[in-house]
Structure 1
Amino acid sequence: MVGSLSAIPTVPTAPLPLPSPRRPLDPADRARRWYENELGWATVPGAPVRLVVGHGFDVLDVPLEAGRATLRRLGTCPGVPASPVAVQGDRMRLLVAAGGAEELPGLLRWLEWDALDLDLVGLGAGALMDAPPVPGTGARTRAQGAAEWLRPPESGGEVESSLPTLSAQGAGGGAPDLVRLVRTAATQCHRVRLRHTRGRSPVR
């Protein structure tokens, strides 16, 4: 005798929960990814985002007035990528190739500027720099004294070739010359110092 098959009871299933919408990426995380992935620059944890100096670049830190005069005198050369420049408060930060800060004291001695207090500071390995907002994202710096790009870096591997380096001295190519940058910056820092001491009109 063939038995009849009993019906298998169906178990009600609960509907699968819908995935939670993704939270928009935090601006600090977006900036950190851009600096690390696009430029290859290291950052440190925490907010605001800070860049590790000496890893990919060094910094010449000068008074803002002297920095602006330096940029006017150096200008830009056709076909030569402009080196990145940031400002924060009353200071300007001129980015140079890694190792440039270590060369600064020797260059100032060679240029005979070492005996004066120029307020020209080299920031190298071990220093940190506040990261300006990522260029082209529409972000605006609101906090007073926050860092901003005056001349932002170019992504896509171009940034390293734009950084002034000592090896470019006397080269026939388009690489920026660290010696020329230091000579010009030292001269303008000295002029600003004299103006503040003697009460003269701003450097032009």
Structure 2
Amino acid sequence: MARALPRPRTPLAAVRRWYEEEMGWPTAGTEPAELLVGPRFDVLEMPADAGGAVLRRLPHTGPVALLRAGRDGNCVIDRPKLLMLIAAGGAEELPEILEWLEWGALAPDLGARGAGERMPAPALPTHPYTAGLASSHGFGAREAAGWLRPPRPGRAAENSLPTTGIGAGSGDVGGAPDLVRLVSAAATECHRARLLRARNAQSDRAIGDQPLAFSNASRMSAGTRPRSLTL
């Protein structure tokens, strides 16, 4: 009597297995695969052009993924986005941080995903420990999302994510910046990118012709206010 051979692991199963077993991050039972936001990390979300400027300013941010234009769950996005992993609970702090930095509604493109939400599972990073797995299952540019700064198994990635409070990094000695500093840089670049897009497209001259406006907190951080008023 012939025995049924075990079915080969599907690409979807390989993705879920890597994230769940290697990273310890829970996934959703969906196709394409999605990561559950909240249990191990939250996500700071912004347009890719603004996010690229943030990455140039802050060389150590923790894992960062690029979400390509297209479908994100049940939503359709019209331009690429950057998803920056931050410490769990950070999404709840974002509105208060923006108010404290005096950004208010000036950075509408900056958002966050927290507990109960999801993000697309990026294609497996092309490190030596995943190179064979990724190539054998055809992961690549066609995936909805990919890692720009990938996580590494066994390094407890969520313990080095931007956070607030005691122990938050300054970004000057190889650690991730604290969440307030990251949000300040992200809000500045989101606002700048929004104005530049409007100016280049000439779609809204009232906004496109006005000078770049930044919050007091971002100007103090940049050193453009008198020293007596600098943080």
CA apart distance, 1:161: 2.3
Paired position in structure 2 for 1:153: 151
CA apart distance, 1:129: 0.6
Paired amino acid for 2:160: S
1:132 aligns to 2:122 (yes or no): yes
Determine which structure has the larger helix proportion and give its number. 2
Q: What's the CA shift string for 1:166-204, capped at 9, x where partnerless?
A: 12447797453111111110110010011122229xxxx
Q: Distance in 1 between matches of 2:107 and 2:142?
A: 33
Paired position in structure 2 for 1:142: 142
* Aligned-residue RMSD, C-alpha: 2.1
Instruction: List structure 1 runs of 4+ shifted beyond 6 angstroms.
Output: 170-173
Paired position in structure 2 for 1:39: 23
Assess if the C-alpha contact under 8 Å between 2:169 and 2:177 holds in 1. no
The structure-2 alpha-carbon separation of the partners of 1:186 and 1:142, relative to structure 1 and needing over 3 Å to count, comes to same
1:88 aligns to 2:67 (yes or no): yes
Q: Distance in 1 between matches of 2:119 and 2:158?
A: 17
Q: What's the CA shift string for 1:103-124, capped at 9, x where partnerless?
A: 1001001111113143000110
1:28 aligns to 2:18 (yes or no): no
Secondary structure, counterpart of 1:41 in structure 2:
coil
What residue ranges of structure 2 are gaps of 5+ in the alignment?
Answer: 69-79, 202-231
Assess if the C-alpha contact under 8 Å between 1:118 and 1:193 holds in 2. no
CA apart distance, 1:132: 1.1
Secondary structure, counterpart of 2:104 in structure 1:
coil
Paired position in structure 1 for 2:161: 163
The percent identity for this pair of structures is: 51
CA apart distance, 1:31: 0.9
Structure 1 counterpart of 2:53, from 66, 69, 75: 69
Assess if the C-alpha contact under 8 Å between 1:162 and 1:176 holds in 2. no
Q: Distance in 2 between matches of 1:142 and 1:197?
A: 29
Q: Rg larger in 1 or in 2?
A: 1
What residue ranges of structure 1 are gaps of 5+ in the alignment?
Answer: 1-16, 77-81
Paired amino acid for 1:98: A
Q: Normalising to structure 2: TM-score of the pair?
A: 0.70
Paired position in structure 1 for 2:99: 109
Assess if the C-alpha contact under 8 Å between 2:169 and 2:176 holds in 1. no
Assess if the C-alpha contact under 8 Å between 2:162 and 2:169 holds in 1. no
Q: Distance in 2 between matches of 1:96 and 1:186?
A: 15
Q: Normalising to structure 1: TM-score of the pair?
A: 0.79
Q: What's the CA shift string for 1:58-113, capped at 9, x where partnerless?
A: 0011000000000000123xxxxx51111112111011010010010010011111
Assess if the C-alpha contact under 8 Å between 1:161 and 1:175 holds in 2. no
Paired amino acid for 1:196: R
CA apart distance, 1:46: 2.4
The structure-2 alpha-carbon separation of the partners of 1:175 and 1:118, relative to structure 1 and needing over 3 Å to count, comes to same
